Structure 1
């Protein structure tokens, strides 16, 4: 008869082998704390780097402008060539038949300024639009007169669509959109912590509820209380609510897919990439070209674009930013719903056969 290798001579099971230090460390609360220390350090550097890269030294990359009048005369060609050289060949001129057509292009946000060349190119009337982008308008206001002096062309600058008095730098829209984005996903985080037992449908409904109320609060404070912006209130409110909902559901989607690390992709999409490339603080022609394109497809950029048009270009709203927000919201809801069993929240439903009797014997 042979001894059982799984038992000791006295018949009892052998003692488990002692764990190594690394295995014991992984089971302590120090392990996730150490991981978070390095993640937060990396996040701090990436946060500072992303904003510095996009905003510290804005440089024109592709600046669409309209040209009308004597642009084909020698003096006019010299002025436009000098302007392109001064702005590193970033100016893209589009010829229009009339000044009215060019100004309509400004209203539709196709161009950022109108150069009307008069008197065989000896005089230039530059119409800028601070509402289209204060940083771009400021750049044109500085560059055009300097080029005019160098080429012997007189330049007159005027602002055909100025910013509102309470928002002289054009940053208020960026701030309210930033608030909607951040509170949107922070709200979803708080629901996952303090209302963990919500069912999937309830979680979506409460996300929509705080988005509607939060969007109203942002618009009311900025418009009614502070008077910083004269908002088209209902439209601005709904844009903010839509932004908060899309942001909140984006976190919920990542929470379903990657669990407790959901903050990392949410922060990356919304804060590290989305906000610097949104065009709110620095207009998209001054952003690195790739970011200027990517930003329009992310919720922060879509929110800024929709809000910007609602406030300063009434009647010229575009469907694209709303489609972007709707896409993020629908995809996030769909992913959450399809894989809802993976979400760390929810509550168990008691099977019917285990329900307590409702009657007598």
Structure 2
């Protein structure tokens, strides 16, 4: 009987384990796993609103609300409840607070803003009413889709598209000796279109969970896939395995955890709010939700961000190819 270190019968040299080869993988896995758990669990421990946008009708009530809410709410005074409702439907405010009588407040909110944000607005309004000895009448004027009862469909779709695009790019990066660069780029581009259409079809017409118009939903998810795949490819081309690990941390871990799909953006810590909309998953969540619930308001910036990530990734991959071609043959690179 031969031991695992014995040479095979074909006469090939035995495999010699290099400690650094496996310890690096173990350490990388531990870092990614720890970061994933710490972010997803940590962000949901005790989310607190910070500058939650709420419209308030009348100057007196606005002053009372600002004093009562403090920094938790960004109060915007409006002339009437109808004006505030227009802001809510446009995605400029989570809710509008008004008074219909000295003892009755009305809160019209957007359930489509997510359970955490609309729930925070409702809780704050209830607390203010209790202090004033009043009651609150609530109305969800922008409700979630019937088949998205928890408001998590956008998160799962965005996560799935991001993860599948990362896996493809990782595999193509490892196949540089077998697949020419232009074919790898074609594969990622074609995959982005296909996964965008498939994800939009399943979540949209088939399940009815995302209400964005199909072409706009497919466009948003296609750009997300392209941004994720080409960014991963670029990081892998320039940094090797470390670049792939960085892509996991940036896209699938930090990007999805701070996207605002599970915990509303206005309930995230300041550092998470700062990066949320600038990373592909957060930009995609905004595009999908704004197209679906808020008449496409504020969707230009998310689409531009997704396109910028895609084009930057493509640019760095091509730049890596050009620099590799200029190197001596004794030091080939694998873009």
Alignment TM-score, normalising by the size of structure 1: 0.80
Q: Say whether the 8 Å CA contact 1:66–1:96 is kept in structure 2.
A: yes
Partner of 1:293: 274
Offset at residue 40 of structure 1 (A)? 1.2
Q: Deviations over 1:154-177 (max 9, x none)?
A: 221111101011111111011101
Alignment partner, residue 185 of structure 1: 166
**Does the 8 A contact of 2:104 with 2:134 survive in 1?**
yes
Match of 1:81 among 67, 71, 78: 67
**How far, CA to CA, are the matches of 1:254 and 1:270 in structure 2?**
12
Contact 1:188 1:249 survives alignment (8 Å): yes
Match of 1:339, SS? helix
1:140 Cα deviation (Å)? 2.2
Counterpart contact for 2:212–2:288, Cα < 8 Å: no
Equivalent in the alignment of 2:84: 102
Distance 2:172 2:193 in 1: 16
Task: Check conservation: 1:61, 1:286, Cα contact below 8 A.
Answer: yes
CA distance 1:205–1:275, change in 2 (3 Å): same
Higher-Rg structure is 1
Q: Is 1:126 the equivalent of 2:114?
A: no
Q: Distance in 2 between matches of 1:196 and 1:112?
A: 52
Aligned to 1:91: 73
Q: C-alpha distance in 2, partners of 1:344/1:156?
A: 65
**Would the aligned equivalents of 1:79 and 1:151 in 2 still touch at CA under 8 Å?**
no
Q: CA deviation at 1:336?
A: 0.9
Q: What is the aligned partner in structure 2 of residue 323 from structure 1?
A: 304
Q: TM-score, normalised by structure 2?
A: 0.86
Choose 220-229 or 181-190, whichever is displaced more: 220-229
Corresponding pairs, count: 312
Per-residue deviation, residues 281-319 of structure 1 (Å, max 9, x unmatched): 111000002211211111111111111111111242421
Confirm or deny that 1:333 pairs with 2:305: no
Alignment-derived partner of residue 7 in structure 2:
none
For the residues of structure 1 that align with 2:292 and 2:308, how far apart are their CA atoms?
A: 23
Tell me which residue corresponds to 1:57. Answer: 46
CA distance, structure 1, for counterparts of residue 63 and residue 134 of structure 2: 11
Q: Secondary structure at the match of 1:93?
A: strand
The answer to whether 1:216 aligns with 2:205 is no
Contact 1:107 1:316 in 2 (8 A): no
Q: Structure 2: which 5+ residue stretches go unaligned?
A: 1-15, 325-331
C-alpha distance in structure 2 between counterparts of 1:238 and 1:163, whole Å: 21
Shift of 1:345: 4.5
> C-alpha separation between the residues in 2 aligned to 1:78 and 1:305?
31
Quick one: distance in 2 between partners of 1:78 and 1:246? 45
Task: Find the partner of 1:116 among 91, 98, 115.
Answer: 98
Cα 1:101–1:32 shift into 2, 3 Å: same
Tell me the distance in 1 between the aligned counterparts of 2:248 and 2:65.
Answer: 45
C-alpha displacement of 1:31: 2.5
On the 8 A contact 1:65/1:91 being kept in 2, the answer is yes
For 1:345 and 1:56, locate their aligned partners in 2 and report how far apart those are by CA, in whole Å.
Answer: 43
- SS of the aligned residue for 2:151 comes to coil
1:167 lines up with 2:148 in the alignment: yes
Q: Which residue of 2 aligns with 1:72?
A: 60
CA contact under 8 A between 1:129 and 1:160: conserved in structure 2? yes
Q: Any idea what SS the aligned residue of 1:65 has?
A: strand
Contact 1:198 1:345 in 2 (8 A): no
CA RMSD of aligned residues (A): 2.2
C-alpha distance in 2 between matches for 1:134 and 1:79: 21
Structure 2 contact 283–306 (Cα < 8 Å) conserved: yes
For residues 319 and 63 of structure 2, the distance between their equivalents in structure 1, rounded to whole angstroms, comes to 60
- Does residue 263 of the first structure (1) align with residue 244 of the second (2)? yes
